[in-house]
Structure 1
């Protein structure tokens, strides 16, 4: 009789703790996490828990939401080739490419009809149709999202989304009396920034509001805004960024200057010109906005008009972003953001 193989005693497989499970799951995509909620009740409870949602948000990667004519996509900024199609049903909540939008904060966006939504989870909530959202951001002290809203009869108000509270800002009367509002905003380090113009001098400024302390200040541009066309402010690599275009140039090529400010105090604004750009003769330049800097290739991802380009700082040249699905769209809307499980 042949000798039977020696049987070794099997070792028990160590079970994963909840902390280990949360750590592993937090690195998965939102699309996978939404599917894994159906695995069992325990996973559903874990994935829906506030602590896991915060952990997943910390692990989330910054990408680019791209709004085409029929679909909404999310593009991985590191590879520039991993595209996640978020579907058509959420597109009705998104603005068309040729209109404004409020950008993204922790995966939440404000759509053209003042709808706050999470395009990754497809949750949304309608805001008051009688108000205009100026900007929004997150207050970590109270774990809530705050909207700065201009209401015709109530002035400038602060709306806490989760708490569902409204409050008139102390700067409301001064803001309405002295300034006019330009669309677009940036949210950096608990502060909202947006461009305003002085009703007295027609000079443009940047209005800054701390969402935690509700203190406000005005920041001067690094150039004369009366003789130039100005875009921004936007966030770019942690900086507050504005773009200058000389409106005196009646013929192409136009030149653009991109200025950035990393830190500011109420009495001291330190601007630095980051780079400049000269347009191709054949391009129709509505505006130029920087999105991301790639250190290894020394390139910058730009939104020029309604298209995306990579600008090479070494050669001072730019080429269209080579992503196959973009070829079918003549123009797109695009803004930075992450995919998250954040709700309201």
Structure 2
């Protein structure tokens, strides 16, 4: 007896079988692409595509997770930088993250997600390097690969006393960077143990320092700690070293300088600032300093350099002097610009590929400042609070051993 339903089911089963055979044959053909050509193709793809292609065949899977391929992919990805943003949404009042193209459009590349219980901890970004982002609420530090959706919590600190009230006792300074010579990522934490957080500078303080190594997954205490008053919380990371603007107190008075911490040698030293920027007084005119990396706009051939910004405010007169210095050289600083900001910046984040300065203004808007026109372009990002932060970002396949997988990697495939 003829049964239409059985006939239809049999036809569907046969169709599925043929489709599986077709895919298997297609995958088999793909797996026979010469490896040299295959690598040249795959290194140009996004992390999302590569995660999908791991299931094509065993040889592709082995190739994509190979450390040599991961480094080759990172080198190619580094030619197309993005910007990762962290800000508090005015609508929901919760932290949001967004990765944007570093071009004229500033369109969103993708919006990475963190679980709600992590977002409630009010994490701050402390750096981005080779696709890894450092997040912390100062007590707990995490490393995050947004592209892989992996989050690693670092071991407990060696220098934090659990019996003390952290927020009332400590002032933390963090830096996160990469050492290419040993292929290791490090986090340095400098704690200022304060006797009274409500007293203005100077106050009695004791500094403690520790360094975390991703390769050993452990902290190491550094015996020599800096005896400076740090200005601001955001260091510049250039060529395996962290730079903070700080004040050194001497018998001759207060001296403003850069404190440098070498992530490889794990030692502190000093970098003198331009002659006109060394004096510091907390009771003088309204001024602040910032040091930023990424000044290839000024040194396209020589390499990485530091940018130092000294902002002055005398009554109705506002200006900002911008100096640059090539890293690793003993030469002096070079003054590049003196600009008058029409919209006073609240915080500076870095120099974009175009040479424009990424900053947040007093209205909590993210803007891109053009030095030639001396005008700022609104980028359409507004933060509810002053916690907007931005770092340059390159997506990567860099693994975090022992990390938590936040969401299934195939949830959007």
Q: With structure 1 as the length reference, what TM-score do the two structures score?
A: 0.78
Once the two structures are overlaid, the 10-residue window that deviates more, 221-230 or 26-35, is: 221-230
Compute the displacement of 1:129 (Å): 5.5
Bigger Cα Rg: 2
Which residue number in structure 1 is paired with residue 213 of structure 2? 160
Aligned residue among 111, 129, 135 for 1:86: 111
| Structure 2 counterpart SS, 1:340 | coil
The C-alpha deviation readout for 1:70-128, integer Å capped at 9, x for no partner, is: 5322112145344222333268757999x853121111111132211112212111224
Residues 91, 292 of structure 1: alpha-carbon distance in 2 compared, 3 angstrom cutoff: farther
Which residue number in structure 2 is paired with residue 244 of structure 1? 310
Compute the displacement of 1:243 (Å): 1.3
Aligned residue among 221, 224, 240 for 2:278: 224
Does the alignment pair 1:287 with 2:343?
no
Which residue number in structure 2 is paired with residue 122 of structure 1? 149
**1:39 & 1:302 partners in 2: Cα distance?**
41
Residues 34, 313 of structure 1: alpha-carbon distance in 2 compared, 3 angstrom cutoff: same
Aligned residue-pair number: 314
The unaligned stretches of length 5 or more in structure 2 are 1-28, 90-94, 161-171, 194-205, 296-303, 401-413
Higher helix share: 2
Which residue number in structure 2 is paired with residue 67 of structure 1? 86
Aligned residue among 315, 334, 338 for 2:390: 334
Once the two structures are overlaid, the 10-residue window that deviates more, 86-95 or 206-215, is: 86-95
Q: With structure 2 as the length reference, what TM-score do the two structures score?
A: 0.66
Residues 95, 39 of structure 1: alpha-carbon distance in 2 compared, 3 angstrom cutoff: farther
Retained in 2: the 8 A contact 1:300–1:311? yes
**1:56 & 1:95 partners in 2: Cα distance?**
34
Once the two structures are overlaid, the 10-residue window that deviates more, 88-97 or 132-141, is: 88-97
Residues 140, 96 of structure 1: alpha-carbon distance in 2 compared, 3 angstrom cutoff: same
| Structure 1 counterpart SS, 2:125 | coil
Matches within 5 A, 1:259-278: 259-265=323-329, 268-278=330-340
Retained in 1: the 8 A contact 2:242–2:263? yes
Does the alignment pair 1:205 with 2:254?
no
Which residue number in structure 2 is paired with residue 169 of structure 1? 222
**2:146 & 2:117 partners in 1: Cα distance?**
11
Compute the displacement of 1:234 (Å): 1.4
Which residue number in structure 1 is paired with residue 229 of structure 2? 180
Compute the displacement of 1:180 (Å): 2.9
